[in-house]
Structure 1
């Protein structure tokens, strides 16, 4: 087997495949880098309550769990996945423009839910095209995806700086500008023809294979998805809370960027971690850190303390994501790969939507102390992960050998 080619030319691949995919990843990550931290800030400028903000953020998460698979199936059946990518970018841009003329809770809820529905397949389909390049021409997925993370950091820093200067009113224009980049990304994405395997999101529609119905796999996916969902209040209300504490927009951008940068650094060392530690131990450790992270969040530790807590994102998300993906490779056959990823997407989407909905209540009633609820959700995830560890076949619990790691 040859080494991954990164950004070098590979025989038979579309011209500049890896560089083009890297640019395409940047576009939706720019959207997410603005929307994820700062869209709740824009909602607050419209005098929405914390409860209403929670609903506006949660409902699209429910909807995307069902619309993304439909779009994925359409993309897989068409001769070219990029067609759906283009429509996703155009419709997302139009809904962003429509939000300029919306006022009141119900119109914004309707438009933002519609935006969530049409935008939901963009990143998964980009992932599917990138992974086709990995399988067919041996490109390095990590080197392509890394640029998306860097774009997220850049967008978050720019968004924080602009929010500090102009307040939450600047959020929607910057989101719309980023959506325009998704249209451009869909125009430059490599055309690779009909897919040889279904997209993960399309595979949700199929019944889970026998391997996916095994208890250890199900418990693991539910547990890790619950820990992922425990981040809901951070995503929905951290910027509002930090702004009320007096942090500048730039400082808030730094805090969000710290979490993503820590995540990227951990991904860099992922192979070494897998060779040194048992996958179950990594999942249990990450779940424990999540429980502690949300217990510490209400302590008002100041900028330095929150910076450290944000860096723990490397363990509360990245190490869990690496572990569950590696475990799926071990336990699920290659032909079931798409179904496994689709099931992971489904669980994470449903639990995140429920947790976001509950966070609106919790933050409205208890303020920052609502993070104790997030700690309880992470603890529930920890219980499921530990249960999965105990019911897993003994051979799958042992540490990996150097040959199997990486």
Structure 2
């Protein structure tokens, strides 16, 4: 690593290339997140088996992402890992065509999660480095991930309406082909710039307890989405919504999320990250408390609007705090740590959801409200124990 105070010039079209880098992997998630449970359901897996497969996927991601993040921070060029991540993930997607029983599917989906785990955190670290070095707008780049997710969710929803659950493996495979191609477009940043100690950064910031408590609190709040990610599409199918309507419902949440990311620059100037986090948790509590009610299509559209807060506000608030607190040469490491915490609590939430949904159906969303409340309390504790100096927001 090069100990220097002056960052090199920004790569050409940095924001555009980061926007593309966000759009493709989150576009893959636009297949996996809403429709992988549908594929598993189409293979006649039980609710418990679906929960196990999805939880295993999350757990493998948990262990792979932090290791990959530490390794990426030690590479001369962290984006080299993206090509390998996309290529190995593609191999598992091709294996999905030949698997239809529990144990092979469990193995393939788990390996896919492990191979793909480094992709999004490394893209995130590149974008956040651009924010720190050259003042680029985070939201202007991250929003295209949401656009990619929404577009793919709509397209695959329509295709799934025509061809059924067998649409999912080819859609995943096409997505991973594109991730390999996009990996070559991600800006190359070289070795990290280390800020001097008098710049207000703590070289050991990754060891700060308050940051880890904050990431845990945000992860618990995000884990409150676990039941929705696992059974949201299945529930809407059970109450008679068409595949197209379900695609619109998923996309509605992303549209509201996009609005937040487009206004992220102004939000960051006028609203503190702690306030963003608290509002996001409160919205999650409200969202999952209302979800069990029979709301109809437009009622669920309105409820999906809360995704702008329950997901986007929490994500923005956390990333803003990390930009303020973490050195560039630790960026991939801390993003990997956040993926670790996120994956652990989302896996627990997913396993819990499988048990609860089987016993109590849609009423079990109330347990997700409790998770969001615990996340809010944990974030409040992190705010209380942060270092009390002006540079830290204390």
Q: TM-score range by the shorter chain?
A: 0.7 to 0.9
The separation in 2 between residues aligned to 1:330 and 1:175, in whole angstroms, is 36
1:240 maps to what in 2? 234
- 8 Å contact kept, 1:31–1:178: yes
1:260 maps to what in 2? 254
SS at match of 1:299: coil
Deviation at 1:75, TM superposition (A): 3.6
Question: Does residue 1:223 correspond to 2:217, yes or no?
Answer: yes
Relative to structure 1, is the Cα distance of residues 67 and 334 closer, same or farther in structure 2, using a 3 angstrom cutoff?
closer
The separation in 1 between residues aligned to 2:359 and 2:192, in whole angstroms, is 49
SS at match of 1:100: helix
For the aligned residues, what is the CA RMSD? 2.9
The separation in 2 between residues aligned to 1:341 and 1:187, in whole angstroms, is 21
1:320 to 314, 321, 327: 314
Deviation at 1:128, TM superposition (A): 3.0
Worse-superposed segment, 11-20 or 232-241 = 11-20
2:3 maps to what in 1? none
SS at match of 1:189: coil
Question: Does residue 1:183 correspond to 2:180, yes or no?
Answer: yes
- 8 Å contact kept, 1:279–1:399: no
2:37 maps to what in 1? 40
Deviations, residues 217-239 of structure 1 (Å, cap 9, x unaligned): 44433222111000001111101
Q: Which runs of 5+ in 1 are unaligned?
A: 1-10, 198-207, 401-406
2:150 maps to what in 1? 153
Relative to structure 1, is the Cα distance of residues 193 and 329 closer, same or farther in structure 2, using a 3 angstrom cutoff?
closer
1:71 maps to what in 2? 68
2:369 to 364, 368, 375: 375
2:123 to 114, 126, 136: 126
Relative to structure 1, is the Cα distance of residues 294 and 396 closer, same or farther in structure 2, using a 3 angstrom cutoff?
farther
2:140 to 143, 146, 155: 143
Question: Does residue 1:88 correspond to 2:85, yes or no?
Answer: yes
The separation in 1 between residues aligned to 2:104 and 2:392, in whole angstroms, is 53
The separation in 2 between residues aligned to 1:79 and 1:175, in whole angstroms, is 31
SS at match of 1:357: helix
- 8 Å contact kept, 2:94–2:173: yes
Relative to structure 1, is the Cα distance of residues 80 and 135 closer, same or farther in structure 2, using a 3 angstrom cutoff?
same
* TM-score in terms of structure 2 length: 0.86
Mapping for residues 155-170 of structure 1, pairs under 5 Å? 155-170=152-167
The separation in 2 between residues aligned to 1:338 and 1:53, in whole angstroms, is 31
Deviation at 1:196, TM superposition (A): 4.5
- 8 Å contact kept, 2:92–2:112: yes
1:26 maps to what in 2? 23
1:386 to 364, 372, 380: 380
- 8 Å contact kept, 1:277–1:399: no
Deviation at 1:154, TM superposition (A): 0.6
The separation in 2 between residues aligned to 1:270 and 1:211, in whole angstroms, is 25
The separation in 2 between residues aligned to 1:385 and 1:193, in whole angstroms, is 34
Mapping for residues 246-395 of structure 1, pairs under 5 Å? 246-332=240-326, 337-392=331-386
Deviation at 1:397, TM superposition (A): 12
- 8 Å contact kept, 2:140–2:262: no
Deviations, residues 283-333 of structure 1 (Å, cap 9, x unaligned): 222212211211110102111111111110111111122222333444556
Relative to structure 1, is the Cα distance of residues 285 and 147 closer, same or farther in structure 2, using a 3 angstrom cutoff?
closer
The separation in 2 between residues aligned to 1:313 and 1:95, in whole angstroms, is 30
Worse-superposed segment, 214-223 or 112-121 = 214-223
* TM-score in terms of structure 1 length: 0.84
- 8 Å contact kept, 2:67–2:336: no
The separation in 2 between residues aligned to 1:81 and 1:334, in whole angstroms, is 12
